[in-house]
Structure 1
Amino acid sequence: MASGFTFANATVENGFSDLVHDHLKGVGRLFYLTSPKDTMYERKEDVPNFFKQSWPYFFIFMILEHLLLRLEGKKGIRLNDGITSISHGILQECGRLIWRGAESYLYTWIYSNYRLVELPWNHTLTWYAAAIGVDFCYYWMHRACHEVHILWAQHQVHHTSEDFNMGVGIRQSVLQGWCGFIFYLPLALVIPPAQFVTHYQFSYLYMFWIHTEAIKSLGPLEYILNTPSHHRVHHGSNKYCLDVNYGGVLIIWDRLFGTFRPETDKVKIVYGLIYNQPSFNPVYLQMFYTGYVVEKFRRLQGWGDKLRAIFWGPSWEPGTPRLGDEDMKVDVEGRDKYDVHLPAWLNTYLVLHYAVVLYGFFELASKHMGMTPFTVLVFVLYVIASLTIIGMIFDQSQYAPILEVLRCSALAFLTRSVAAPGVGTILQTMYVVSAMFWCLYTLKLLEIKKTSKVD
């Protein structure tokens, strides 16, 4: 990795705001200044898990971005929305822990049996060919995720936030890796698996930092690279923002294939889905849109239209073009963001329990290869259940209190035998107290309902 982007090198003439701003820009520069020689690997198994290594930096730059936005007089990253974004990233990583890299098996099999050329794994040209090839395939995969209804059902979770910040960069679909992997398979005829896996990770790591409103422009680099300016347009639900700027690292593919649209001061971008879902429950946001696809499939008559409901664009209706009638598409010009205001003590409670879930997740991620698949599955289910219930509390769901009683009760029992003695005692006490509190809270709710019913 190239060096030189340290706090000592940042411009400080305009204070801390410029310091943070320069470092956020430095994130992007680091990705395309990476030395090929430092990231060449002969075997796929030798490629580091760059995603896992990057999680601490994700959190650091989210904090820096939040501070910069607050210094500019903006709200910064909302607690409920930011935690929801992180939860989606954890859900995606939990999926990877379960299938343990199985997505790349088919790629490796094709390369081993049907490759057309033998490119040297340690040659610079191979490294750059992999970088360009992965980015080219990402463009078409990403475009398909917006233009094919069933793929959009998985990808849409990335667009569910009504904010635009670096947290959105890790708000990813659990199943998109499987659904979109087919678009990369042609590379297996040429690119060695280790180089593919390396740049597949680099591509997504680069795209983390372009989810921000803290950086306005990168000057001449805007013509070549995908930047925050370009990606803000992509995430808008305004009609002017739909179906454009699909690039990953490079924006040249959009310029070549007619899907580029620059940012303009004339339109205030409204983020989120056209018909946004009011929820901070990550599992619900992952799954709800698939129900729309099923409903549309059932509603239409004839197998031709039923299949088009799945494989044509999300806006398609019988008698319209593949991507729908442009005149019928909704132009979102403004709306109030979904938000639920909780008391400070409850936010503190949720942050504390969320921190414990994060600790458990990182412990699982570091030790999962030494565990049986069943044990990994059990811990993954614990993480998913915890993230779901915390999201439901943020939503003030009527079912959240009783589910939190059950969660804390179960964890109070499990931590006694799973956690280390000292840590186990602390966690067990925390879960017992939490379960008792929510039990009393739930009984109070039941009493209120009973009195109301009698009256």
Structure 2
Amino acid sequence: MFTNETLSVSFGADLSRDILRGLAQMFYMVSPQETTFEEPEEVPKYFRQAWPYFLAFLIVENVLLWMEDKTLIRFNDGITSLSHGLFLECGRLVFRGAENVAYIFIYENFRLVELPWDSAWTWYLAVVGVDFCYYWLHRACHEVHILWAQHQVHHSSEEFNLTVGLRQSILQGWCGFLFYLPLAVIIPPAHFLTHQQFNLLFQFWIHTKSVHTLGCNLYCLDKNYGGLLIIWDRLFGTFADERPKEEIIYGLVYNQPSFNPFFLQIFYNMNVINKWKSMSNWQDKLAAVWKGPSWIPGKPRLGADEDKLDIKSRDKYNVQLPLWCNLYLLIHFVVVVIGFQELALRYMGMSPLAVLGFVAYILTSLTTIGMLFDNHPYACLFELVRCLAFV
């Protein structure tokens, strides 16, 4: 018989191990023995499980900034970044991994070799392969206009802190998965799904490192694309070291004054459409879509440096709200996060229509919170309707 004290000690030890294991996963400090799976269905949702760590480390970051007498994470900007992370996760709930179907199909029908799924060599090959493909995906997202339209949200914050790692595009996955498909002829799907998540989790930390300083300054514009390994940037000529004497200006070159996550996710697509419309012939119209964002007729594919803005300074967009309003928005944001976590636990047992309805409400709530941060003239009306719908 086990005493209550023995059970408590055992539970505490198990909980400590789980916490340490989750912490290690944030740094890609995992072993092949613990993270090798035979079937894709066996792969845990590592990114979704990491949300408590995301929030905990954001608190730690703020405490450290306060102790060093530095500017804290701006409340409105930080909540907006977290909202983008929830946008991404909500998209995954709706699509239910449908974008991975093509990978599995190619592997099952066209693989060149069948690597042993339980081999450490297969595991390490997947680490390198996923990161190599991510480099080219990330680079393409900066060098192809239509892909940049989806990726730009990641660079829309005028701050550079851990929250920016969660500022992801809900649509980029549906463009980006194509870059991973070449791996399907070699890497088993379960290995791919595992390391794609760990690669993304690790990138949460590179938003504290100089190697990822992608700002509006011309010297570091469209540089440093690597996710896990910086070697790809050095090999392919896209590495830019930080210049300590030059202040880096973060955000988009033409930054949008908004904290509305829905608007920030989609607004740039209109820029692509307008540029396409402005071209006089079909060749230039197509080039306006697949060449770089800075391209204009008669210039190189990525545009000429002399035509690009080299931003040295600018005022950050900010809207001051009363303390009570910020507290109100914080409470409602926490409620949305809790609601999302409940949905994430139950969605596989729900009908697609029900999941879509809950996701729509979550996205509407996050959008309304952003509108309130912007002090949008219709924000209060949207909030009233949202609250009535909840009741």
Counterpart check, 1:153 vs 2:134: no
Asked whether the 8 Å contact 1:164–1:271 carries over to 2, the reply is yes
Q: Deviations over 1:341-382 (max 9, x none)?
A: 100011111111111111111111110001000000000000
Task: Give the letter aligned to residue 209 of structure 1.
Answer: W
Asked whether the 8 Å contact 2:26–2:198 carries over to 1, the reply is no
- Picking from 128, 137, 141, the partner of 2:137 is 141
5+ unaligned residues in a row in structure 2: which ranges?
Answer: 1-21
The residue that corresponds to 1:259 in the other structure is 238
CA distance in structure 2 between the partners assigned to 1:54 and 1:29 by the alignment: 8
Q: Deviations over 1:193-225 (max 9, x none)?
A: 00000000010000001112xxxxxxxxxxxxx
Task: Give the letter aligned to residue 321 of structure 2.
Answer: L
Asked whether the 8 Å contact 2:217–2:249 carries over to 1, the reply is yes
Describe the SS at the equivalent of 1:174.
Answer: coil
- Picking from 151, 176, 188, the partner of 1:192 is 188
The residue that corresponds to 2:74 in the other structure is 78
CA distance in structure 2 between the partners assigned to 1:80 and 1:164 by the alignment: 14
CA distance in structure 1 between the partners assigned to 2:73 and 2:321 by the alignment: 16
CA distance in structure 2 between the partners assigned to 1:366 and 1:85 by the alignment: 23
The residue that corresponds to 1:37 in the other structure is 33
**CA apart distance, 1:48:** 0.3
The residue that corresponds to 2:9 in the other structure is none
- Picking from 348, 357, 379, the partner of 1:369 is 348
Counterpart check, 1:339 vs 2:335: no
The residue that corresponds to 1:310 in the other structure is 289
The residue that corresponds to 1:183 in the other structure is 179
Describe the SS at the equivalent of 1:273.
Answer: coil
**CA apart distance, 1:27:** 6.5
The residue that corresponds to 1:126 in the other structure is 122
**CA apart distance, 1:403:** 1.0
**CA apart distance, 1:301:** 0.7
Asked whether the 8 Å contact 1:27–1:209 carries over to 2, the reply is no
**CA apart distance, 1:147:** 0.1
Q: Deviations over 1:133-178 (max 9, x none)?
A: 0000000000000000000000000000000111000100001111
5+ unaligned residues in a row in structure 1: which ranges?
Answer: 1-25, 213-227, 413-455
The residue that corresponds to 1:438 in the other structure is none
Task: Give the letter aligned to residue 295 of structure 1.
Answer: N
How is 1:35-434 mapped onto 2 (pairs within 5 angstroms)? Answer: 35-212=31-208, 228-232=209-213, 234=214, 236-412=215-391
**CA apart distance, 1:266:** 2.0
Asked whether the 8 Å contact 1:28–1:209 carries over to 2, the reply is no
Task: Give the letter aligned to residue 383 of structure 2.
Answer: E
TM-score by length of 1: 0.80
CA distance in structure 1 between the partners assigned to 2:24 and 2:144 by the alignment: 30
Give the structure, 1 or 2, with the largest relative contact order (CA under 8 Å, sep 6 or more).
Answer: 2
Asked whether the 8 Å contact 1:103–1:181 carries over to 2, the reply is yes
CA distance in structure 1 between the partners assigned to 2:24 and 2:336 by the alignment: 30
CA shift in 2, pair 1:260/1:340, >3 Å: same
CA distance in structure 1 between the partners assigned to 2:24 and 2:147 by the alignment: 28
**CA apart distance, 1:394:** 0.3
TM-score by length of 2: 0.93
**CA apart distance, 1:32:** 4.2
Asked whether the 8 Å contact 1:84–1:391 carries over to 2, the reply is yes
* Runs of 4+ residues deviating >6 angstroms: 26-30
CA distance in structure 2 between the partners assigned to 1:177 and 1:32 by the alignment: 21
CA distance in structure 1 between the partners assigned to 2:52 and 2:26 by the alignment: 16
CA distance in structure 1 between the partners assigned to 2:151 and 2:24 by the alignment: 23
CA shift in 2, pair 1:296/1:339, >3 Å: same
Calculate percent identity across the aligned residue pairs. Answer: 60
- Greater CA deviation, 356-365 or 290-299? 356-365
**CA apart distance, 1:28:** 8.2
CA distance in structure 1 between the partners assigned to 2:68 and 2:247 by the alignment: 18
**CA apart distance, 1:29:** 9.3
CA distance in structure 1 between the partners assigned to 2:36 and 2:24 by the alignment: 20
**CA apart distance, 1:30:** 6.3
The number of equivalent residue pairs is 370
Q: Deviations over 1:302-338 (max 9, x none)?
A: 0000000000000000010000011110001011110
Q: What is the root-mean-square deviation of aligned Cα atoms in Å?
A: 1.2
Describe the SS at the equivalent of 1:98.
Answer: helix
The residue that corresponds to 1:441 in the other structure is none
| Max Rg structure | 1
